Amino acid sequence: MGEREATCWEPAPGRVVLAERGVGGYRQYRIPALAATATTTLCAFDGRHDFDDLPAPIDLLLRRSSDSGATWEEPKVVRRGTGHEGFGDPSLLADPATGRVFLFHSATERAGFFESGDGEDPADPMLQHADVSVSEDEGRTWRHERLTAPLRHSGNAVLDCERIAGMFAAAGAGCAITAGPHAGRLVQVYVLRIGGRIDVACAVSDDHGRSWRLGRPIGHGREAAPVELNESSVCMLADGSLLLHSRGPGHRLETRSRDGGETFGPVTAARDLPDSGTNGSVLAPAAGPELYASHTAGPDLRRGAQISRSDDRGHTWSAVRVLEPGSAGYTRLAELPDGRIGVVYEADGYQEIRFEAYAREELVDPRRPPRGAPVPAGATGWARASAGGVVVDLVLRSILPARPASPHEWSGTEPVHVIDLSEFAGIGAAVFKEVGRAPGAGDLQVLRTRAALDRNLGPARPGIGAGDLVLVHGRAWNGTGHPLRVTWDGRSRDLEPGECWVRRDLSHRVGTGDLSAGRVRFATEIATAAARARPVLEVPRAPRGR
């Protein structure tokens, strides 16, 4: 695909924005899940009172469509807590045999994935709990169950002198096995923290969701791997075996199971699926032999959401549709009731959750742009410039709501809970949770109640406001065949051919001048001995659709 084609990229004409930051009473929406029954399409996602990942006061929301995504009901709250309670990171699974829908999610009070203890008490506030909401009427009503004890107990039973601490259902969707010796089994991937490492295992049910147990963690008992599995998606192949894709550094990771998700084989890199280390998905449509994968294909930075296709059981892949060349996050595919392929994804610095749908005949032609191609017109949250063979990308990562400058300026008497993030200093930034704080702002995360956040942050509003903090991630890539000395805003580094320099410490505090101009202009400067460039990332005050 040439530069001219990449530059002429256009967004899908049937795109629907399912959630927009600041609209509908929440300051942030994140983590979309997507699934369909025979007649209804369901999309679940987090409704956040602040920016933070769990533990935080997050509500679990759902939208339904009865026409394969052409129109959608208004969001409804599936679960809302009190105080510090939060319910988030949804994953949907529809059982084709019963029509029952499962909405897996995490429930937290004082501890999330990294802080959780390793007990099995379903009432312990210092555990990250595994919950599932169950619907018998295609998402109209729900009942809630806690799976903490059975999943932790069955998972701990296969470990040697270790125990599961943090655990959560990998956001997106589960899988129903409909062929082979395990036909009728339901499968949901869980991410685990065991002895300081991150691992993955599948929860399985052989009685249509009445009981669940955890399979063997994939990394358990193996020699230390150079990379760890993380948020994953699983699909059933034609013979009833399973293909699992995980987010990974540089490329998606894959592994296969022939015993219904109890155990998995070797973990390898899917070299045809570039990945920025972001949650994606893999899908096997019921009516066709092809497979589809969704992922963010921009190296190191969360951008370039796309759909890829495989016609050989997932051994090779070709990019077939760019969803958003610019800033993008989590993606999820599902087969819709009308047979089309639906996808939900985060875009524009998490400002939007979008839905698009494609007929299968639209997902056939390779559409991957070349490395270093110009930014296409219409791409959101992305700027690119070149300086002497170095390609520089700036990507909008997120927007943090304005807040009191110090803890002493917060009003109210609601209780707070403080987490010392310095305890997790050894965990890489690419896999650690996202917390609403400025770069270099300290090592404490303060959990506040919904009431305290609403009082001190003011009403939720769309777009960018004074005092908001715009976070930007940047990447410089040496595209030459020789080493280069690169200077970036006064810092210098030597880059070998093909080497990258990634920065996650770039930010801009929104001022009145930005609001008057109608946009934030974030500029940085990069230079080599031969050239100098000043890429500028422009973020409109209001999303482009407004």
The tens digit of pLDDT for each residue in 164-217 reads 999 999 999 999 999 999 999 999 999 999 988 999 999 999 999 999 999 999
Q: Do the domain assignments include residue 191?
A: yes
Q: Tell me the average pLDDT of the chain.
A: 93
3-state secondary structure of 234: strand
Q: What is the DSSP string of 178-233?
A: -SSTTTT-EEEEEEEEETTEEEEEEEEESSTTS--EE---TTTTSPPPSS---SEE
Choice among 62-66, 159-163, 394-398 with the minimum mean pLDDT: 159-163
Q: Is 299 found in the same domain as 394?
A: no
Q: Which DSSP state fits 421?
A: G
3-state secondary structure of 392: strand
Q: Is 391 found in the same domain as 348?
A: no
The H or E element spanning position 330 is strand 318-335
C-alpha dist (Å) from residue 525 to 462, 492, 513, 529:
30, 12, 21, 14
**For 447-452, what is the mean pLDDT?**
94
> What's the pLDDT at 7?
39
- Determine the Cα–Cα distance for residues 369 and 228; give it in Å rounded to an integer: 29
Q: Minimal CA–CA distance to 345: which of 330, 335, 358?
A: 330
Q: Is 242 found in the same domain as 388?
A: no
Q: Is 124 found in the same domain as 265?
A: yes
**What phi and psi values does residue 273 have, to the nearest 5 degrees?**
-120, 85
Q: Is 328 found in the same domain as 408?
A: no
User: In which band, very low, low, confident or very high, does the pLDDT at 2 lie, cut at 50, 70 and 90?
Assistant: very low
What's the number of domains the chain is made of?
2
At 88, which amino acid appears? G
Q: Is 200 found in the same domain as 327?
A: yes
Q: Which residues are catalytic?
A: 53, 231, 330
The H or E element spanning position 456 is helix 450-457
> What's the pLDDT at 408?
85
Q: Is 251 found in the same domain as 180?
A: yes
The H or E element spanning position 156 is helix 148-156
> What's the pLDDT at 12?
86
3-state secondary structure of 342: strand
- Determine the Cα–Cα distance for residues 108 and 56; give it in Å rounded to an integer: 8
**Token code pair at residue 372:** 């270093």
> 274 has which bridge partners?
251
Q: Is 272 found in the same domain as 188?
A: yes
Calculate Rg over the CA atoms of the chain.
22
Q: Do the domain assignments include residue 7?
A: no
Q: Do the domain assignments include residue 76?
A: yes
Q: Is 357 found in the same domain as 387?
A: no
Q: Is 131 found in the same domain as 173?
A: yes
**For 138-155, what is the mean pLDDT?**
98
At 241, which amino acid appears? S
The tens digit of pLDDT for each residue in 497-536 reads 999 999 999 999 999 999 999 999 999 999 999 999 999 9
Other beta carbons within 10 Å of 20: 20
The tens digit of pLDDT for each residue in 335-364 reads 999 999 999 999 999 999 999 999 999 998
Domain that holds residue 189: 13-362
Q: Do the domain assignments include residue 256?
A: yes
Judge contact between 61 and 40, C-beta under 8 A: no
CATH number for position 58: 2.120.10.10
Q: Do the domain assignments include residue 179?
A: yes
Q: Annotate 214-235 with b (16+ C-beta within 10 A) or e (fewer).
A: bbbbbbbeeeeeebbbbbbbbb
The tens digit of pLDDT for each residue in 273-329 reads 999 999 999 999 997 899 999 999 988 999 999 999 999 999 999 999 999 999 999
Q: Do the domain assignments include residue 507?
A: yes
Q: Do the domain assignments include residue 433?
A: no
**Token code pair at residue 77:** 């709250």
> What's the pLDDT at 1?
30
- Determine the Cα–Cα distance for residues 248 and 251; give it in Å rounded to an integer: 5
The H or E element spanning position 154 is helix 148-156
Q: Is 358 found in the same domain as 502?
A: no
Q: Which DSSP state fits 248?
A: -
pLDDT at residue 6 tops 50: no
pLDDT at residue 261 tops 70: yes
CATH number for position 496: 2.60.40
Q: Do the domain assignments include residue 403?
A: yes
Q: Is 202 found in the same domain as 56?
A: yes
User: In which band, very low, low, confident or very high, does the pLDDT at 5 lie, cut at 50, 70 and 90?
Assistant: very low
The dihedral region occupied by 173, where left means phi > 0, alpha psi between -120 and 50, and beta the remainder, is beta
In terms of DSSP bridges, do strands 41-48 and 58-65 run parallel, antiparallel, or are they unpaired? antiparallel
> What's the pLDDT at 371?
60
Q: Which DSSP state fits 408?
A: G
> What's the pLDDT at 18?
98
User: In which band, very low, low, confident or very high, does the pLDDT at 546 lie, cut at 50, 70 and 90?
Assistant: low
User: C-alpha angle with apex 76: 74 to 79, nearest 5 degrees?
Assistant: 165
